[in-house]
Amino acid sequence: MKQQEVFRALADPTRRAILKRLQKGSLSAGEIGAMFDMTGATLSHHFTVLKRADLVRNERRGRNIVYSLNTSVMEDLTRLVLDLVPATRGRGEGK
């Protein structure tokens, strides 16, 4: 996992909002675009950042491109953050 890319991706509120939407299921670029007040080009840039962090996957379906969460990296992220919190309870407590 590219830790730096993941944290950087998370630093933008639009990208976090995109991730939250994708929790509920995959969406096409257009559907996501309809939720934000910015151009498709800008959204496309955000997708690129999210993909670079491997937080989302995309797949062409017909004339749409459908984005979905990469849940395994999301879990890596969870671990990462838990690792940042001292004396973390609820999990391993490992080295």
Partner DNA sequence: ACAACATTTAGATGATTATCTAAATATACG
Partner DNA sequence: CGTATATTTAGATAATCATCTAAATGTTGT
> By CB under 8 A, is residue 69 in contact with its own copies?
yes
Piece in contact with DNA (CB under 7 A), picked from 18-26, 59-67, 75-83, 84-92: 59-67
Cα separation, 15 vs 50, in Å, equals 7
Stretch that binds DNA, among 16-24, 60-68, 70-78, 79-87 (CB under 7 A): 60-68
The reply to whether 90 sits near its own copies by the rule CB under 8 A is yes
56 contacts its own copies (rule: CB under 8 A): no
H, E, C per residue of 48-68: HHHHHCCCEEEEEECCEEEEE
Contact predicate 59/29, CB 8 Å: no
